[in-house]
Every structure is written in C-alpha cells, then in structure tokens.
Amino acid sequence: MEKDKAYKVLAQQEDISNKKAKELIDKGLVYVGNSKVRIARALISFDTKFRVEEVSEFKVIYEDDDIIAVDKPPFVDSYDISDAIDGATLIHRLDRDTSGVLLLSKNDEFLEKAIKEFKARRVTKRYIAWIEGVFYEDTNIDAPIVTSRKGKAVSRIDEKRGAKAISIVKPLEIQGKKSKVSIEISTGRTHQIRIHLSYIGHPIVGDELYGSRTQSKRVLLHAYQISLLGYSFTSKEPKEIYKYK
C-alpha cells in the first residue's frame, strides 16, 4: 500500500498547502477515527480518512480604555489572539487546549498595574475541569513546581527546587469514573493545575502529558472566571465542559 508523510496526504485530501497541513497536525486538530495524528512526518497510507476539528473564533467579553477580556476557544494560541488585536498585550496566557477568559492590556500603565497584582497574588482565578476518578472532598494542594523548557514545557513537583504553588480543588459533579471540579489558584506556575491534579492521582481528562488515559478532543480544562483591579469576568462553560457525556 502506497504511503507518504501524514501532512502531505492531508494536504492532498483537503486541497491545502503542505505548510497549512503541518500546522493543523502540530496544533492537534487532525484525527483518524478517534485518534489524534501526532507526528506530521509519520508515514501513512494514501487512503487514510482524516477528520479536521474546526476552530472557533475568539469573542470579546469586555473592552474599555485599559483592558480587553476575551473568551478564548480551545486549540488557539494566546499569542495569536494578542497578534490579532492591535495595540493589545497579554496580561497572562492560557495553554492552547484551555478555553476561557483571557486578559489583555491596552496600555503600558495598566499592564504594569496588572503584573503587580499577579505578583502580589491579588488575582482570583477559577477554573473548571473534568478529571479522572471519583473526587468527592475539598482538597488544598500545596506542592512546589519546577518547569523544564527544553522543547515543549513540562512541569513536575520538586520540593527542593520548585516555586511555591497552591491550588484549591472542590468537587462539583461525579459521572461514572470521571469528576467535574472547580479549581482556584493564587499562583500561576506553568501547567500548575494539570500537574497538581496529576500529583494527587486525578489527571485532567485528555491530558496525556500528565497521565490521563482517556482519549479526548482536548484537555478538558476551562478558565471560568478571573478577577483583578476591580474587574471580574466570566466565560460560559463550553458544551464539553458543561456536561462530560
């Protein structure tokens, strides 16, 4: 059976450029059945049937002279949103798979104030996630995190070298062997929620990097609410977060 690199076969089937096909695979948007295509250069047969997930447009929740609050869809890089809004700078960022409230500043003075609030831990951030296993008890996780940035960022718990990280996890719903939880964080380490939930034996559904064994279109994590400097913004839960099945 004749084969070629996955991105070339995809490009031919979708009538797009090789570059665009590779980007779609690298962003985790291409599937064969329920399995994500992970390696753009992997050899694959010409009769393979791909499915490409559609990416939603981001929506502006609120805007004034200082701040823009955006409802970020999954599969979109935070920096792409920043690039798409003239004169706006990211105040923080969300992982590509994570949906929800993303904040940008419209001027340097407000950006400096916002950064100070983050450093002083005066920002309230609440997330919602579906996790592996049955979770039924409020849990405070205080476990320091260190992040390796060789290639893709990967975090781990390290009591000696890690930076302080605190997550408060509360149960919301149980469905079979999966649980819906809310998470409030006062620190914002790279992949904090993902590694903390994995650390207590409840990785986020779809988060294969940190131990989930459940196939999912995305990591089921949503930035539900953020409050700082007198502002408070909420993002409605997308359907895959509102109800797991």
- Quick one: residue 65, left, alpha or beta (phi over 0 = left, psi -120 to 50 = alpha)? alpha
Which residue's entry shows tokens 């690199």? 5
| Residue 142: per-residue pLDDT | 96
Mean pLDDT, rounded, for 24-47: 81
What gap in Å lies between CA 63 and CA 164, rounded to an integer? 33
| Residue 39: per-residue pLDDT | 81
**Predicted confidence band of residue 71 (pLDDT cuts 50, 70, 90):** very high
Active site residues: 95
pLDDT at residue 1 greater than cutoff 70? no
CA 137 to chain centre: 24
pLDDT in tens, 201-229: 999 999 999 999 998 888 999 999 999 99
What are the structural domains, with CATH classification, of the chain?
3-52 (3.10.290.10), 59-242 (3.30.2350.10)
φ/ψ of 71, rounded to 5, equals -90, 105
| Residue 8: per-residue pLDDT | 85
What gap in Å lies between CA 170 and CA 135, rounded to an integer? 8
pLDDT at residue 150 greater than cutoff 80? no
What gap in Å lies between CA 82 and CA 87, rounded to an integer? 9
**Neighbour tally for 149: CB within 10 Å:** 9
Mean pLDDT, rounded, for 42-61: 85
**Predicted confidence band of residue 153 (pLDDT cuts 50, 70, 90):** confident
| Residue 63: per-residue pLDDT | 97
Segment among 1-5, 93-97, 236-240 with least mean pLDDT: 1-5
Task: Give the residue from 124, 97, 114, 106 showing the smallest Cα distance to 218.
Answer: 97
Mean pLDDT, rounded, for 72-86: 93
**Predicted confidence band of residue 109 (pLDDT cuts 50, 70, 90):** very high
Mean pLDDT of the chain: 91
Which residue's entry shows tokens 């076969």? 9
**Predicted confidence band of residue 165 (pLDDT cuts 50, 70, 90):** very high
Long-range Cβ pairs for the range 12-16 (8 Å, 24+): 12/46, 13/50, 14/50, 14/52
pLDDT at residue 57 greater than cutoff 80? yes
Mean pLDDT, rounded, for 86-96: 94
pLDDT at residue 197 greater than cutoff 90? yes
